[in-house]
Chains A and B, each alone.
Chain A
Amino acid sequence: MPVLEVENLKKHFPVQRGLLRRTVAKVKAVDGVSFSIRPGETLCLVGESGCGKSTVGKLALRLIEPTEGSIRIGGEEVTRLSGGEMRAYRRRIQMVFQDPYASLNPRLKAGQIVGEPLENYSDASGSEQEQTIAALFEKVGLRPDAMRRYPFEFSGGQRQRLGIARALALNPAVIVADEPVSALDVSVQAQVLNLLMDLQEELGLAYLFVSHDLGVVEHIGHRIAVMYLGQIVELADKDALFADPQHPYTQALISAAPLPDPRARRERIVLEGDVPSPMRPPSGCRFHTRCPFSFDRCFVEEPRLKPSREDGRLVACHLRD
């Protein structure tokens, strides 16, 4: 059974203007996203900035309320639960944030930060909790005596380890990692990624890993969902996706990723124009304004995400019908 399932998830942010705050438009940040994650699996969400990938992550935890669609945690529908009822499910899904500076309260000690979720859910005594916190520190590669220090005394990588320890505190089944390494130095990125992968192996965690960095995604992902303007355009196993991208947007995205060999050249597919506004997404296929292969059908008919005829992975493109 999947640990996290979302179906037709939508988030439309209203744009309000004027004295009466009338809604004059809607930003369709997420517009019909569906996927599921199995235990122990890493599903990566990739895409350009503004494509709604982070919003999907926050919707999954209900940090933002979805406009439409459903979220199931461990098979249980949580989309319409009240705040109090939701609390019981919060411990199964936790989050690691992008900014290791802003996501730790600068006024609290490291031990308090990591221990806060424990405090919220367990009746254990102070010393028992302290032991658990010390174990969490060790699990993420920090010395337990760092509990008494303040966030500013840690480096960026160490701070992100604190964030991971906090996410692990409740033994969740899924962790939503919202660009957890994009704010870190490249040398530290690898350490944190490897930590995440080790923890996955040890604890059987599932990750919803949001990233714009294809190199990172290739390293950590099992399956990859490519997002464009609030929708998933392609969802495939990592190897298949990198070896043979089917959607023209995925092809362009992969061709833009730098190769580690300075002499290597690959054919770049350079997309023309900018990403259209999510307030007024294009008709038909949302990618048709920039797609080098678009034809008349793309302008009028929206392609559905369906198994492609070649190998059964999910692609939303008329070319693959």
Chain B
Amino acid sequence: MATATAGAFVAAEAPSRRRGARLRRFIRRNPTLFAGGAILSLVALVALVAPLIAGDPLTMQPAQRLRPPSEANWLGTDNLGRDVFSRTVYGARVSLFVGLSVASFSVVVGLFIGLLTGYFRRVDAVAMRLMDGLMAIPAILLAIALVALTRASVMTVIVAITIPEVPRVVRLVRSVVLSVREAPYVEAAIAGGTPVWKILFRHILPNTVPPLIVQATYICASAILIEAALSFLGAGTPPEIPTWGNMIAQSRLFLSRAPWTIFAPGIALAVVVLAVNLLGDGLRDRLDPRLARRM
């Protein structure tokens, strides 16, 4: 009787305890994946609920310029009396938006071109030379040119960063396609009369997904950095939008008097990029151990 109750007790306890143990084991085995994921989720959450936790990032209080951190302004104020904390929080929105957009655009475009160049040898010769050419364009130069031609906006920045990233994705996808297209199950599909588009989508595309996810995280990290660099140079996001690059650019003149104005966005930038890279490394170890860090 006693054992029976004990057994029932254990059975009732087991699922939640087992879940806890599983989570702990997952963290122990994938520390980078977990750390990167946790930091990023936190930053994403903060960016999402920015209006709830931070004040208006644009309100200027000329009387309160360059104030050190205080109870009213947790991270102090900048040279126009704007709240550094609010601006840092809102800056996360732009950084994450740019990072995610560039990663998804370059993956979608690169996947499409990569599938075609990998499968059709005639397309390959032409398209890959074109990609080599694109790869030679520095993102910053392209952004300056685009901003000069059109006008500064977040979209311009995204386009400018995406273009040089596309060839990297193309190369990665192409290399996977080249190896998979010779697989006997692809031959079997051809013998079974499967049309080319279906071979590409059903048999080849799924093999590109794990390395692409990993690559997308690295692209995301580099896009966040390039966006900040462009803003810093004044060739990126318009200065009225609070971004980390803009904040650093505007604060550099006051570095010695008000270092907090530059520390907040600087540290935020470093932490987010680090988190994205940790996430990428963790994903790579899980999904695709053989992939080199950069194709």
Contacts and interface: CB of A to CB of B under 8 A. Distances in A.
Interface of A: 58, 61, 63, 83, 87, 90-91, 94-95, 97-99, 102-105, 107-108, 116-117, 120-121, 163, 166, 169-170
Nearest to B206: A107
B125 to A, nearest CB: 10
Interface stretch (B153-161, B181-189, B215-223): B181-189
Nearest to B190: A63
A139 to B, nearest CB: 17
A58 B184 CA distance: 11
B190 A102 contact: no
B184 A169 contact: no
A166 B193 contact: no
Given A102-B185, A103-B184, A121 B203 contact: no
Contact of A170 (B184, B185, B193, B203): B193
A206 B84 CA distance: 80
A91 B193 contact: yes
Contacts of A116: 189, 192, 194
Contacts of A166: 188, 192
A105 B206 CA distance: 11
A145 B191 CA distance: 26
B193 A121 contact: yes
Nearest to B198: A120
A294 B97 CA distance: 78
B192 A170 contact: yes
A87 B183 CA distance: 20
Contacts of A170: 192-193
B185 A90 contact: no
Contacts of B183: 102
B195 interface: yes
A97 B187 contact: yes
With a 10 A CB-CB cut-off, give which of B184, B192, B198 has the most chain A CB atoms.
B192
Nearest to B187: A63
Going nearest first, the 6 A-B pairs with the smallest beta carbon separation are A117-B192, A103-B184, A105-B185, A90-B193, A120-B193, A102-B184
Contact of B203 (A83, A90, A97, A105): A105
Nearest to A106: B185
Given A105-B203, A107-B206, A94 B192 contact: yes
A11 to B, nearest CB: 15
Contact of B193 (A87, A97, A102, A108): A87
Contacts of B195: 87, 120
Nearest to A104: B185
Contacts of B202: 105, 108
17 contacts: A58-B187, A90-B191, A95-B188, A102-B183, A102-B184, A104-B185, A105-B185, A105-B189, A105-B202, A105-B203, A107-B206, A116-B194, A117-B192, A120-B195, A163-B188, A166-B192, A170-B192
Nearest to A105: B185
Interface string B161-196: 000000000000000000000011101111111111
A63 B191 contact: yes
A238 to B, nearest CB: 27
B192 A103 contact: no
Given A105-B203, A107-B206, A169 B192 contact: yes
Contacts of B196: 83
Contacts of A58: 187
Contacts of A169: 192
Contacts of A117: 192-194
A97 B192 contact: no
A94 B184 contact: no
Nearest to A96: B188
A61 B192 CA distance: 10
Nearest to B191: A95
A164 B205 CA distance: 25
A205 B39 CA distance: 63
